[in-house]
Amino acid sequence: MNSLLNSDNILFTSAFAIQFISIAFLFIKDQHKALFAANTVLLIGLTLGLFSTISSALFSSAEISLQSIFFNFIRLDELGTFFLFIIQLVAIPTTIYNFSYLSHYIEENRSIKSFVIFYVLLLISTQFIVIANQAILFLVSWEIMSITGYLGMMLEKEKEEVQKGSFYYFAASHVLIFILYIMFFLLHQQTGSWFFSDYHLSFSTGIVVPIIFILSFIGFGIKAGFMPFHFWLPQAHPIAPTVLSAFLSGVIIKMGIYGILRTYLFIKPVPEWAGWFILIVSIISAIFGVWYALAQHDIKRLLAYHSIENIGIIGIGIGIGFIGSANNLPAVEVLGFGGALLHTLNHAIFKSLLFIGSGVVYQNLGTRNIELMGGIVHRAKYIAILFLIGSVAISGVPPFNGFISEFIIYTGFFKTANELKNFYPILMLMFVVGLAFVGGLAVACFTKVNSIMFLGSERKAVKHFYTSIYDYISLGIFALLCIVIGFYPQPFVGIVNKVIVSNFVSSHPSSALINIDWLFFTIIFSIIALGIFFLFLLKGKLEKKFGKRTSPAWGCGYENINPRMQYTASSFADELNEISKSVLVYHKKVEVSNTAFPLPSKFESHSNDFVDSKIVLPSYKFLSFLVMKIKFLSQTDIRYYIGFILIIITIYSLIAFLW
């Protein structure tokens, strides 16, 4: 092809090359300089990559024609480009945060060079996953992504919780890749090709395609964190370095979503049971994800459960899309997949914002326990505001971006009910209520987080709250994206619509997504924002006129309020946690002395994961019990092993002889 030296192609390839080259700068001896150089080069590479992605067919009329450069190994179709866009968009601010985050470690005299190498490889392999057009390349990139993620998590490897949590991640990734191997071998066996562009299967051809679908859902679902397979997420996210947990939660679990959508493209149209299956799994993930989140005290673990919730919401969108595909309703399809894709982008943005925000707090306070935080708003006002923006966005409250994607999913529900009359309206109504419930719990949860963490007075004395310019840049970019997508969703909706129209909908694409009057949102949100602004002005004026009265936070009339008298995270969520005690595995331990003279009293509450404590660990114990039963076969003497070989050979020969 003559387009080999096309400027777009050069830009695209050099973006990857520059990202890769950044590793070389780690040879600089001084750690601060090495970090600065490598990170800057990585940022340049990522920015170039983002430019080249934006200049691709999905976003403009110019086209990147990499189709044939690497022997068809790489293909930039709309779905892949969209995810590439998400990865690069999230990676840039996260990498900016690297400057300040890792310099903390350098000041503690730790080596961060290996972490940076793993981080760079993680970014590159993740980008390769979405542009791979060949199963082996895909699987290899996937494996590199998993392993570098694991190695990156081991930054503080001397801590016991880090070893435990990262092992969860490693084990889950291991199982997952095994399932993916089976799935791709089945695909290869069905089509005789390793290239994604050759995979066109149909559900009507037999039992293999449903098996492929189920395998893909389990395999990619483990990565994405759908409810029965989510158990590794709350273990791995808290212990990962903040940069990594932001990227992990923002992007890597989205690779599971990418995988499910990619598999859908291989086997579309799907039957309706597949849609219901995903819908039910997703609504369970969403409800229990947020409910578990409410019971957590560890800020990062809480955010990890919120990732499960949001993956559930994305899954609901995919489920609606599947139902639309089964009934050949392009309008439903467009709304379902559109909501899912836009929520993928949105969640990547605000979840990274929240993780990085919590990382800033963690670095200053040295704890992830919400119960020990408080009053941070008096130390770092802008961090609190930026975190609040992320919280509002993740709760799906207007005017930020979370609302837009959830709105599309709600519209999808109503559209389904409208188009498929019969018993659908009542079922859809149930799902609407479920999703609304999720939204309500999310608001409750983030009210808890923001009020306990940022408001009130300090529970733990903080000498100096240090924030660097990089923190603000990184959080600011994310917050800006939240606001932009919230206030002006048209271009993003347009992009999502383009992805779906080109890949997902087979015939007569519907314009249901772009026909929503998005301009109304812009106008209404602007009015709300202006209203708030004027209220603030009014408040300022009134304060000037009448003066400002201050009293201790949540004083409620008490004179000598002390930090221990404040609401705590567990007391805030107690009522809600009591309801679902058994599912949440929620324990409370109260020790009140009942003696004449008061003795110290104690209160403890914690929640274990149901799947982890009731399914995964017991089955692991059972497995190890079984393995111990056959341990007598493990002998010290080589002669026994040769005897075993002889027995096996005899059995084989007998079978061959008698066959």
Partner 1 sequence: MENVLSILFSLSLFYVSVTSRVKGYVAVLRFQGLILSVLVLLPFLKNFSIFGIILPITLLLVKVILIPSYINKIILDLDIKRVIEPTIQQIVFLLLVIATMIVIFISSSVIAQSTELNVIPFASGFSAIAIGIYIIIFRKKLIVHVCGFLVLENGIFLFGTAVASELPMMIELGVLLDVFVVVFLMGIALNKIRSTFEGFEVTDLGRLKD
Phi-psi domain of 373 (left: phi exceeds 0; alpha: psi -120 through 50; beta: other): beta
The distance of closest approach from Cβ of residue 640 to partner 1 in the complex, given in angstroms and rounded to an integer, is 8
Helices (H), 159-298: 160-191, 208-224, 233-239, 242-247, 253-267, 272-294
Q: How far is the CB of 635 from partner 1 (least distance, A)?
A: 8
For β-strands 602-607 and 586-591, DSSP reports them as antiparallel
Alpha carbons within 13 A on the beta-carbon side of 490: 9
What single-letter amino acid sits at 300? K
Pick the binder of partner 1 from 17, 542, 642, 648 (CB under 8 A): 642
Least Å distance between CB 638 and partner 1? 6
| Residue range at the interface with partner 1 (CB under 8 A); choices 120-128, 265-273, 503-511, 632-640 | 632-640
597 vs 657 by CB, closer to partner 1: 657
Contacts for 604 with CB less than 8 Å, ≥ 6 apart: 587, 588, 589, 590
Q: Which residues contact 471 (CB under 8 A, 6 or more apart)?
A: 97, 100, 356, 360, 383
Tell me which H or E stretch contains 647.
helix 638-658
**Is there binding between residue 648 and partner 1 (CB under 8 A)?**
no
Instruction: Write each residue from 583 to 622 as x if it is in contact with partner 1 (CB under 8 A), else as -, in one continuous string.
Output: ----------------------------------------
Choice between 469 and 646, CB closer to partner 1: 646
Six-digit token pair at 479? 């917050």
Q: Does 206 sit near partner 1 (CB under 8 A)?
A: no
> Which is nearer to partner 1, 625 or 657 (by Cβ)?
657
- Residue 511 or 653: the one with the smaller Cβ distance to partner 1 is 653
Residue type, 131: I
Please say which residue, 520 or 659, places its beta carbon nearer to partner 1.
659
End-to-end CA distance of the chain: 56
Stretch that binds partner 1, among 173-181, 242-250, 311-319, 639-647 (CB under 8 A): 639-647
Interaction between residue 645 and partner 1 (CB under 8 A): yes
Element (H, E) at 589: strand 586-591
Residue 246 per-residue DSSP state: H
Size (the chain), residues: 659
| Residue 420 and residue 413 in contact, taking contact as beta carbons nearer than 8 Å | no
CB nearer partner 1, residue 422 or residue 636: 636
C-beta of 613 vs 653, nearer to partner 1: 653
The site for partner 1, by CB under 8 A, has a size of 10
**Contact call for residues 165 and 239 (beta carbons, < 8 A):** yes
Residue choice 643, 648, 651, 652 for contact with partner 1 (CB under 8 A)? 643
Task: Quote the CA–CA distance of 334 and 497 in Å, as a whole number.
Answer: 7
Task: Please state the closest distance from residue 634 (CB atom) to partner 1, in A.
Answer: 9
Residue 627 found at the interface with partner 1 (CB under 8 A):
no
Closer residue to partner 1, CB minimum distance, 599 or 642:
642
Least distance to partner 1 from the beta carbon of 653, Å? 8
Identify the residue among 109, 559, 637, 655 touching partner 1 (CB under 8 A).
Answer: 637
Question: Counting contacts by CB under 8 A, is residue 519 touching partner 1?
Answer: no
Q: How far is residue 394 from each of residues 146, 301, 460, 604, measured CA to CA in Å? A: 26, 16, 28, 29
By C-beta, is 182 or 654 nearer to partner 1?
654
Q: Quick one: CA dihedral 485, 491, 497, 499, positive or negative?
A: negative
- Please list every residue from 410 through 439 that binds partner 1, using CB under 8 A: none
Of 114 and 635, which CB lies nearer to partner 1 in the complex structure?
Answer: 635
Compute the least distance from the CB of residue 624 to partner 1, in Å. Answer: 18
d(CA 10, CA 507): 35
- Whose structure tokens read 């923190």? 471
Shortest Å distance, C-beta 644 to partner 1: 10
Residue 636 binds partner 1 (CB under 8 A): yes
| Separation in Å, CA 134 to CA 15, 62, 405, 517 | 21, 25, 31, 40
Q: Is 638 one of the binding residues for partner 1 (CB under 8 A)? A: yes
Q: Which is nearer to partner 1, 430 or 648 (CB)?
A: 648
Cis peptide before 598 (omega within 30 of 0): no
238 contacts 302 by C-beta, under 8 angstroms: no
Q: Is 631 in the site for partner 1 (CB under 8 A)?
A: no
Least distance in angstroms from the C-beta of 646 to partner 1:
5
Q: Does 646 bind partner 1 (CB under 8 A)?
A: yes
Nearer to partner 1, 158 or 637 (CB): 637
- CB of 164 vs partner 1, minimal distance in Å: 23
Pick from 71, 546, 657, 659: which binds partner 1 (CB under 8 A)?
657
Check binding of 517 to partner 1 (CB under 8 A): no
Q: How far is the CB of 641 from partner 1 (least distance, A)?
A: 10
Q: Which residues does residue 587 pair with via DSSP β-bridges, in sequence order?
A: 606
Q: Which is nearer to partner 1, 545 or 631 (CB)?
A: 631
* Percent helix, strand and coil across the chain, each to the nearest 5: 75, 5, 20
| Residue 397 DSSP SS3 | coil
Site residues for partner 1 per CB under 8 A: 635-639, 642-643, 645-646, 657
